[in-house]
Amino acid sequence: MTSSISPLASTVFDSVLFRDAFGTAKMRALFSDHALVQRYIDVEVALAKAESRTGVIPAEAAEVIARESKIERIDFDHMREETDIVGYPILPLVHQMAKMCGEAGRYVHWGATTQDIMDTAVALQMRDALDSIEADIRDLRAILADLAKKHRDTPMAGRTHLQQALPVTFGYKVAIWLAMFDRHQERLAQMRERVGVVEFAGAAGTLASLGDKGFAVQQALAEELKLGVPATTWHVARDGFAEAVNLLALVTGSLGKIALDIMIMASTEFAEVYEPFVKGRGASSTMPQKRNPISSELMLAAAKAVRQHAGLMIDAMIQDFERATGPWHAEWIAIPESFILTSGALHQAKFALGGLIVDEARMKHNLGISRGLIVAEAVMMSMAPYTGRQQAHDIVYDACRTVNEQGGTLAEALAALPDVTKHFDRAAIDRMTDPVNYLGLAPQMVDRAIALSSEI
């Protein structure tokens, strides 16, 4: 039996086993070698057209370059061999393009430097990749808005320091998740104009090789590629690309927070939510009862990996003089992997949250396991107008100790205290100690979050 497994696959990004767990086919395609070289060609062709428009090279030459420069004619093996020698892929590409174009080939790469072509190609990749990320975030926000609305009034225990604190609703929890991604959507839109810019400046970034035509060619190139024009050369000013990867770190960091919540809430002792059921998903090789939160685990792993790449991009910003001696190369690792990991994490999030199983009964049960102690603050605040805040605190504190040491419920302990019963009958005590009656403005916060999200 033949196998489809490539003997060259060595990372989760190209592994036939793991690639769909950590990424998506769409994002892998955007950052594939084929797509990258096509973008290099796109930039070289656009440059020829821009220089033709501005009278730098003959129009006939630009036409030939545009017509003859086809990726199907690229000898990738030869390009790889030459890249190994040169250290960069553009000169090997230019050699092949010049040969394809015959006499017009002399005008390929006119006035450009390697990094001009590579940076602009990556800007084009990022533009397409951000389109995909933006669409995924928009889809995820719709899922979260629906989930928050559905569970607006579903009471559950709110937890601080992993201890039950005060009652909240599950919709309130989800609304907090939603608001994070609303902000990410806004950040992405604001960032685009800083990232989607052309790089064309020549050897030391001064456009000296084009004389007084430099700015005109730069503008025309940007128009050809539908990119912006930067204020200055950014060969060694890498804040735009660093910002993009750090935004991905924020996105995956938020996914990691959601994943951690889901994983803890899905634990046997909590049993409040579960990822969608798919036969065999999350199964253990030895424990048949297991139902591991696989999507959440992958989201958390992606968050950690992209965070590492975000740091790498910041480190790569520290570049020497007008052309760096190495930090630039770190971007070649960080950028594709960060986008692939982020797309994979968003895919997992849409699956997990789109079909999330919420056990409302279990949430209600867990809300009651403290026997009313979770609303001790509510009782204290109800009594404070009669006794003063501090005395109310001391009374309720003593009642809580009784529950912890002797059992029973907070309502029963309070009903045994004359300092309480002279102000409240048993029905009032029961109302004060019912967690459902102490949700604060959690449901209203859900309404506000959904309304604000709909405006983005």
Query: What dotted CATH number matches 373-432?
Result: 1.10.40.30
Q: What is the mean pLDDT for each group of 10 consecutive residues in the chain (456 residues)?
A: 63 89 94 96 97 96 96 95 94 95 95 95 97 98 98 96 94 98 97 95 91 95 97 94 98 98 95 84 50 91 97 94 86 96 97 95 94 89 91 91 92 91 91 91 97 95
pTM over the 0.75 mark = yes
Q: How far apart are CA 190 and CA 444, in angstroms?
A: 29
Catalytic residue among 3, 4, 161, 285: 161
Class of CATH domain 117-197+234-366:
mainly alpha
The owner of tokens 């060694």 is: 236
pLDDT for residue 288: 44
To the query of whether residue 209 is one of the catalytic residues in this protein, the response is: no
For residue 274, list its beta bridge partners.
357
Superfamily of segment(s) 19-107: Fumarase/aspartase (N-terminal domain) (1.10.275.10)
pLDDT for residue 322: 85
DSSP string, 313-357: HHHHT---TTS-SSHHHHHHHHHHHHHHHHHHHHHHHHHHHHT-E
Q: How far apart are CA 291 and CA 280, in angstroms?
A: 8
pLDDT for residue 279: 65
- Beta-sheet strands, E only, within 117-174: 155-160, 163-169
Q: Could you tell me the residue ranges of all domains in the chain?
A: 19-107, 117-197+234-366, 373-432
CB-based burial, 343-369: b 16+ in 10 Å, e otherwise: bbbbbbbbbbbeebebbeeebbebbee
| CA torsion angle 51 54 56 62 (round to 10) | 40
To the query of whether residue 423 is one of the catalytic residues in this protein, the response is: no
pLDDT for residue 5: 58
CB 195 within 8 A of CB 240: yes
CA 276 to chain centre: 21
Kind and range of the H or E run holding 358: strand 357-358
pLDDT for residue 269: 93
Catalytic residue among 6, 32, 284, 454: 284
**Residue 55 backbone zone (phi > 0: left; psi -120 to 50: alpha; other: beta):** left
The owner of tokens 């916060």 is: 445
